[in-house]
């Protein structure tokens, strides 16, 4: 993470400047604006899809070369082969960690907790910048290509979000279009919608799962949701699917170099198990329980390690971060190359009985049955098949149907232990890292293990080990990330086997329930650790018995009068860190009235521009404002610190002048009576995505009552 976090303002600040800006918008502009939303959704889809294809191609080509070179060298010397393999990995990982630490610190990790925070109303500095996008794309090529125990799917969600926010801003923070026709998304609220589209696009591109993407954005990432938005998010995902499919069709014709072996469906197991018997539900439930336990353990371990890293290791500077990653890379190379060497090869299955199977696989392909350190030609090394391979291919091999007894229980167990440890250790290092693919690896390993036992004991059934591997993968992800519907749909979309839907559901229900018993989901835990203050969707129980006043008990409210001296503003802004200040004026009869809320960031803009300084302490003409400011002056760029009080430099004369705050303040922030229960206040705050609520005395009279009837205007 890149430092502090600040709340976003999802409320529309209906001040004079904003209303003028709205009034000036022509009919044409409104129409154009509606179109632009769709155009931007289209561009988000195209951009994210291309980013995904680019990352995919780069990773596949790098690892393709790597394995090709290594395999050709080990014909002569295994030691030399290992050296080349390890160096290749080190080089790739080094580019990744170097990019991240030197150039884009916010690109480390998966980025999903930060995006989740953004969509919950907290902006973490740096997460949606252009440089983060660059760091994320090139960083994940390095870290995934370098064979670390992490995936590229999480970073793709972040990538999608970055692309969306940059498109919405009309460019990066520094270089952007200045015309309001090209950057009309100037409120946090509109940007939020775009980022939601971007997340969905990321998942859709990563797993080629458009519906899964929509659901992921809906279930896991976003905190507010409207069904109109669903329609737009869906459109974006559909575009992603079309672009990725087209790119893949183009690549299939050999124009992209090495390209892996998956089709549009990443891990197609439609040839697998068709049906299941009631007896099998028991082992499947056991897979669910294992998934819940292993997932919860994973969350807990990574939480400890990450918090240790943050508090000790990473405080020592970038050099330590780089050395750490390089050591882990070396360790990964040693384990993934060394362990298969210790394993005895198995003889290939009878090729007459299984005519589809190529064993050992011909050099230069990426299927099952890798011949590695075997004495004869008709043997394969089952540990190398999963360990000494890209993760995508390893998963494909683990999921593969009709390959009974390909893996020995011993190899799977070794792999499970080693890979689980590697995944835990790798998590939280300074490289872009997703947890989906490692999770699928871990889960499918123990799933296949269970499958082996089922085949052994329930002999008569039409059981397929690959199906169990898939269920295992679902269970681990469910146990760690605690998603349900979206994960279920993603699983179905990546394997193209709808018949397994009820089974996946069952496994997910169990693993989530078991996991919830121990701790929170991975992303929530990580967000908490990183100091991202997520607001849950429901108030805590004890809030029912608290009142609003108690939440701000010891507060000395700092407010401004309507017309205020510049020096006083300076003094107040320096003396505290609050981001909003009530403004108190006078009514017609001279009585005191709260006339609105002034944001710190808007005050800073006023102080910086100096255009509104006046020498008399009397109200100004609000119409003058529109000639001095345009609305976009007040808009803060996404995820940057913005101006601070130290950027303001004023002369003594200027400090003696006045500002009339009336045209700039938010005239109607939401208010609650002092004795409203905190649970209700929480609901108000959370459902509407507010940043400030005023606690005020009980009203003395009711001017009117608004009911449903009053809000229905029939055209």
* Residues of this chain that bind ligand ATP (CB under 6 A): 6-7, 552, 555, 557-558, 577-581, 691, 705, 707-710
Do the beta carbons of residue 104 and residue 73 sit within 8 Å? no
Residue 243 near its own copies by CB under 8 A: no
Task: Measure the CA–CA gap between 114 and 103, rounded to whole angstroms.
Answer: 18
Do the beta carbons of residue 109 and residue 433 sit within 8 Å? yes
Q: Toward ligand ATP, which CB reaches closer, 34 or 711?
A: 711
Task: Measure the CA–CA gap between 163 and 240, rounded to whole angstroms.
Answer: 13
414-453 residues near its own copies, rule: CB under 8 A: none
Question: Cβ of residue 587: shortest distance to ligand ATP, in angstroms?
Answer: 21
Residue 356 near which of ligand ATP, its own copies, none (CB within 5-8 Å, type-dependent): none
Question: Cβ of residue 523: shortest distance to its own copies, in angstroms?
Answer: 12
Residue 470 near its own copies by CB under 8 A: no
Scanning 357-365, 378-386, 631-639, 669-677 for contacts with its own copies by CB under 8 A, the matching segment is 669-677
Beta strands in 348-471 (DSSP E): 379-380
Scanning 134-142, 206-214, 336-344, 561-569 for contacts with its own copies by CB under 8 A, the matching segment is 206-214
For residue 96, what are the CA distances in angstroms to 161, 388, 537? 20, 21, 36
Q: Which of 118, 234, 399, 631 binds its own copies (CB under 8 A)?
A: 234
Q: Toward its own copies, which CB reaches closer, 105 or 272?
A: 272
Residue 576 near its own copies by CB under 8 A: no
Residue 528, Cβ density class (10 Å: 0-12 exposed, 13-18 middle, ≥19 buried)? middle
Do the beta carbons of residue 106 and residue 132 sit within 8 Å? yes
Residue 300 near which of its own copies, ligand ATP, none (CB within 5-8 Å, type-dependent): none
Q: Which two tokens stand for residue 273?
A: 């198990």
Task: Measure the CA–CA gap between 370 and 348, rounded to whole angstroms.
Answer: 10
Task: Measure the CA–CA gap between 588 and 325, rounded to whole angstroms.
Answer: 67
Q: Which two tokens stand for residue 593?
A: 């009235």
Question: Cβ of residue 77: shortest distance to its own copies, in angstroms?
Answer: 46
Sign of CA dihedral 666, 667, 669, 674: positive
Residue 7 near its own copies by CB under 8 A: yes
Residue 636, Cβ density class (10 Å: 0-12 exposed, 13-18 middle, ≥19 buried)? buried
For residue 152, what are the CA distances in angstroms to 105, 431, 432, 434, 545? 17, 11, 8, 5, 46
Q: Toward its own copies, which CB reaches closer, 58 or 695?
A: 695
Question: Cβ of residue 278: shortest distance to its own copies, in angstroms?
Answer: 9
Question: Cβ of residue 517: shortest distance to ligand ATP, in angstroms?
Answer: 32
11-50 residues near its own copies, rule: CB under 8 A: 11-12, 14, 19, 22
Q: Toward ligand ATP, which CB reaches closer, 6 or 520?
A: 6
Do the beta carbons of residue 286 and residue 450 sit within 8 Å? yes
Residue 481 near its own copies by CB under 8 A: no
Residue 95 near which of its own copies, ligand ATP, none (CB within 5-8 Å, type-dependent): none
Scanning 237-245, 282-290, 562-570, 656-664 for contacts with its own copies by CB under 8 A, the matching segment is 237-245
Task: Measure the CA–CA gap between 303 and 527, rounded to whole angstroms.
Answer: 10
Residue 701 near its own copies by CB under 8 A: yes
Task: Measure the CA–CA gap between 2 and 327, rounded to whole angstroms.
Answer: 24
What contacts 279, CB < 8 A, 6 or more positions away?
Answer: 458, 461
Residue 677 near its own copies by CB under 8 A: yes
Q: Which of 76, 315, 460, 709 binds its own copies (CB under 8 A)?
A: 709
Residue 549 near which of its own copies, ligand ATP, none (CB within 5-8 Å, type-dependent): its own copies
Q: Cα-flanking dihedrals φ and ψ of residue 65, to 5°?
A: -60, -45
Angle, nearest 10°, between helix axes 485-495 and 465-481?
A: 150
Residue 13, Cβ density class (10 Å: 0-12 exposed, 13-18 middle, ≥19 buried)? buried
Residue 704 near its own copies by CB under 8 A: yes
Residue 650 near which of its own copies, ligand ATP, none (CB within 5-8 Å, type-dependent): none
Q: Which of 355, 362, 587, 590 binds its own copies (CB under 8 A)?
A: 587
Task: Measure the CA–CA gap between 589 and 25, rounded to whole angstroms.
Answer: 36
Residue 540 near which of its own copies, ligand ATP, none (CB within 5-8 Å, type-dependent): its own copies
Question: Cβ of residue 579: shortest distance to its own copies, in angstroms?
Answer: 8
Q: Cα-flanking dihedrals φ and ψ of residue 690, to 5°?
A: -90, 170
Residue 530 near which of its own copies, ligand ATP, none (CB within 5-8 Å, type-dependent): none
Residue 577 near which of ligand ATP, its own copies, none (CB within 5-8 Å, type-dependent): ligand ATP
Residue 590 near its own copies by CB under 8 A: no
Q: Which of 131, 562, 600, 692 binds its own copies (CB under 8 A)?
A: 692
Torsion of CA 241, 244, 250, 256, to 10 degrees: -160
Q: Which of 36, 203, 489, 605 binds its own copies (CB under 8 A)?
A: 489
Which residue's structure tokens are 């630490």? 101
Q: Toward its own copies, which CB reaches closer, 122 or 166?
A: 122
Which residue's structure tokens are 């394993």? 343
Question: Cβ of residue 71: shortest distance to ligand ATP, in angstroms?
Answer: 54
500-539 residues near its own copies, rule: CB under 8 A: 501-502, 505-506, 509, 512, 533, 535, 537-538
Phi-psi region of 472 (alpha: psi -120 to 50; beta: other; left: phi over 0): alpha
Q: Toward ligand ATP, which CB reaches closer, 303 or 548?
A: 548
Residue 245 near which of its own copies, ligand ATP, none (CB within 5-8 Å, type-dependent): its own copies
Terminal alpha carbon distance of the chain: 50
108-167 residues near its own copies, rule: CB under 8 A: 121-122
Do the beta carbons of residue 208 and residue 260 sit within 8 Å? no
Residue 274 near its own copies by CB under 8 A: no
Q: Which of 26, 228, 589, 627 binds its own copies (CB under 8 A)?
A: 228
Question: Cβ of residue 247: shortest distance to its own copies, in angstroms?
Answer: 14
Q: Toward its own copies, which CB reaches closer, 189 or 361?
A: 189
Residue 672 near which of its own copies, ligand ATP, none (CB within 5-8 Å, type-dependent): its own copies
Q: Toward ligand ATP, which CB reaches closer, 218 or 583?
A: 583
For residue 711, what are the CA distances in angstroms to 321, 706, 715? 57, 8, 12
Residue 182 near which of ligand ATP, its own copies, none (CB within 5-8 Å, type-dependent): none
For residue 316, what are the CA distances in angstroms to 107, 311, 593? 19, 10, 53
Name all contacts of 341-344 with Cβ < 8 Å and 24+ positions apart. Answer: 341/78, 341/373, 343/373, 343/381, 343/382, 343/383, 343/384, 343/411, 343/414
Scanning 130-138, 230-238, 296-304, 566-574 for contacts with its own copies by CB under 8 A, the matching segment is 230-238
């Amino acid at each position: 993470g890149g430092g502090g976090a600040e709340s976003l303002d999802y409320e529309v600040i209906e001040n004079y400047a904003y209303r003028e800006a709205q009034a000036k918008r022509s009919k044409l502009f409104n129409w154009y604006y509606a179109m632009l939303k769709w155009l931007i959704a289209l561009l988000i889809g195209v951009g994210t899809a291309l980013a995904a294809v680019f990352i995919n191609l780069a990773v596949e080509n790098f690892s393709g070369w790597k394995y090709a070179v290594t395999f050709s060298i080990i014909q002569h010397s295994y030691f030399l082969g290992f050296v080349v393999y390890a160096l290749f990995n080190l080089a790739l990982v080094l580019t990744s960690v170097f990019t991240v630490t030197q150039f884009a610190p916010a690109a480390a990790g998966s980025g999903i907790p930060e995006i989740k925070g953004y969509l919950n109303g907290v902006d973490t500095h740096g997460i949606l910048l252009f440089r983060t996008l660059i760091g994320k794309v090139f960083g994940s090529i390095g870290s995934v290509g370098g064979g670390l125990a992490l995936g590229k799917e999480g970073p793709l969600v972040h990538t999608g979000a970055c692309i969306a926010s940059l498109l919405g801003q009309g460019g990066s923070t520094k270089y952007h279009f200045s015309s309001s026709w090209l950057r009309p998304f100037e409120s946090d609220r509109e940007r939020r919608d775009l980022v939601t589209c971007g997340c969905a696009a990321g998942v859709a591109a990563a797993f080629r799962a458009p519906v899964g993407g929509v659901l992921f954005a809906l279930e896991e990432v976003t905190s507010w949701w409207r069904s109109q938005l669903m329609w737009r998010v869906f459109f974006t995902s559909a575009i992603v699917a079309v672009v990725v499919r087209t790119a893949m069709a183009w690549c299939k014709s050999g124009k992209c170099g090495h390209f892996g072996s998956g089709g549009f469906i990443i891990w197609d197991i439609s040839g697998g198990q068709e049906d299941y018997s009631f007896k099998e539900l028991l082992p499947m439930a056991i897979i669910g329980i294992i998934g819940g336990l292993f997932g919860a353990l994973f969350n807990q371990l990574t939480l400890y390690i990450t918090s240790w890293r943050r508090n000790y290791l990473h405080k020592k500077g970038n050099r330590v971060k780089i050395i750490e990653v390089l050591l882990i890379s070396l360790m990964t190379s040693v384990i993934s190359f060394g362990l298969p060497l210790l394993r005895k090869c198995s003889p290939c299955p009878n090729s007459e009985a299984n005519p589809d199977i190529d064993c050992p696989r011909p050099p230069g392909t990426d299927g099952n049955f890798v011949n590695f350190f075997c004495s004869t030609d008709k043997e394969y090394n089952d540990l190398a098949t999963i360990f000494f391979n890209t993760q995508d291919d390893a998963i494909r091999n683990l999921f593969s149907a009709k390959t009974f007894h390909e893996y020995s229980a011993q190899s799977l167990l070794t792999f499970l232990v080693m890979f689980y440890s590697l995944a835990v250790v790798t998590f939280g290092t300074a490289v872009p890292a997703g947890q989906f693919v490692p999770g699928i690896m871990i889960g499918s390993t123990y799933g296949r293990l269970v499958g082996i036992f089922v085949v052994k004991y329930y002999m008569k059934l039409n059981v397929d080990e690959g199906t169990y591997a898939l269920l295992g993968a679902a269970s681990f992800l469910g146990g760690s990330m605690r998603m349900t519907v979206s994960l279920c749909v993603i699983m179905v979309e990546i394997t193209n086997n709808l018949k397994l839907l009820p089974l996946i559901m069952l496994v997910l229900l169990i693993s989530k329930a078991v996991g919830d018993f121990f701790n929170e989901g991975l992303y929530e835990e990580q967000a908490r650790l990183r100091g991202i203050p997520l607001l849950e969707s429901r108030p805590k129980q004890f809030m029912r018995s608290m009142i609003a006043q108690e939440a701000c008990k010891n507060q000395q409210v700092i407010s401004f009068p309507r017309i205020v001296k510049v020096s006083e503003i300076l003094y107040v802004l320096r003396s505290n860190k609050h981001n909003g200040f009530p403004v108190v004026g006078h009514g017609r009869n001279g009585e005191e009235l709260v006339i609105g809320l002034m944001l710190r960031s808007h005050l800073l803009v006023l102080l910086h521009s100096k255009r509104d300084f006046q020498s008399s302490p009397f109200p100004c003409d609000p119409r003058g404002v529109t000639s001095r400011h345009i609305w976009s002056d007040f808009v803060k760029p996404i995820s940057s610190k913005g101006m601070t009080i130290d950027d303001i430099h004023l002369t003594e004369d200027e400090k003696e002048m006045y500002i009339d705050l009336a045209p700039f303040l938010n005239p109607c922030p939401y208010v609650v009576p002092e004795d409203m229960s905190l649970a209700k206040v929480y609901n108000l705050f959370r459902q509407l995505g507010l940043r400030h609520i005023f606690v005020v005395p009980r009203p003395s009279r009711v001017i009117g009552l608004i009911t449903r009837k009053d809000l229905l205007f029939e055209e």
